[in-house]
Amino acid sequence: MRICDGLNLAKEFGNHFAYLLMEFHLKKSREWVFLHLNDELAKKDKFIELLDRYKNGEPLEYITGHCEFMGRDFEVGKGVLIPRFETEILIEKALDIASKFNAPRIAEIGVGSGIISISLALELKNAKIIATDISLDALRYAKINKDKFQANIELIESNYLDKIDGDFDIIISNPPYIAANYPLDKWVLNEPKTALIGGEVGDEMLKEIALIAKSRSKYLICEMGYDQKLSMQNYLDNLGFQSEFYTDLAGLDRGFIAYNKGK
């Protein structure tokens, strides 16, 4: 089997996927693969095994152990949410708000692989960032990535902010926000449920986080589901926040920045 034949086998999942899997298998760059399409495919059984793992629902990022986010290579694996591209918008919004403060105090709820807190820490040298998660697997990956990027963040195992004292300028979160009965594809089903499901309706954790922010933060910045704007807008209004919602690149409602008028 030649390299191009191997690529063809994987192309049912798209060209980009096929090349990523091949690059990972051969430990070579895309340029190298392009220039060697007619070479014999080394360890072809191993490549087919990788493809089968994907066909059986193992996400590509778990197979390769890597995911790119904001141009940086984060380590991921079973037990941690795979970073999603749209979360880059959340970071942009947070950087904008953080620029109002000299040394912003930031808390993240649900750090996962660390993409949010680490990306913020690398841009905001004066920020004091503390991040929690209830998942030890997630915290393990967050620590690996924190060390990899030498990011100045503190990681705490905690339900919400229960184990942390004090107030913050910004609370940020990309919490689980999917409804319990929402149909998920087999790859997403391999990601941790605690990172995906927000409750029966989906917005339960977002509302809990808004309640926490009401007493402990000037700003709350969150990602949310495409169908949660109305309920979150009402909820935030009732708590006395002034909120602004944003959309993702597909034009879907995706998150909000809420200013706590009482703080």
What is the binding site for ligand SAM (CB under 6 A)?
Answer: 81, 83, 87, 109-113, 115-116, 132-135, 138, 159-160, 174-176, 194-195
Nearest distance from residue 198's CB to ligand SAM, in Å? 9
Nearer to ligand SAM, 75 or 133 (CB): 133
CB closer to ligand SAM, 20 vs 90: 90
Say how many CA atoms lie within 13 Å of 227 toward its Cβ. 5
Q: How far is the CB of 19 from ligand SAM (least distance, A)?
A: 24
Give me the least distance between CB of 1 and ligand SAM, in Å please.
36
> Closest CB to ligand SAM among 4 and 178?
178
Rank residues 77 and 176 by Cβ distance to ligand SAM and give the closer one. 176
Output the smallest distance, CB 239 to ligand SAM, in A.
Answer: 19
Q: Are 121 and 172 in contact (CB under 8 A)?
A: no
Written as one letter, the residue type at 79 is G
Provide the minimum distance between the beta carbon of 36 and ligand SAM in the complex, in angstroms, as a whole number: 35
- Between CA 124 and CA 120 the distance in angstroms is 6
Buried b (16+ CB within 10 A) or exposed e, 182-201: eeeeebeeebbeebbbbbee
Q: Kindly provide the residue ranges of all beta strands, DSSP E only, lying in 98-163, ordered along the sequence.
A: 105-109, 128-133, 153-157
Between 33 and 195, name the residue whose CB sits nearer to ligand SAM. Answer: 195
Phi (first) and psi of residue 247, to 5 degrees: -110, 160
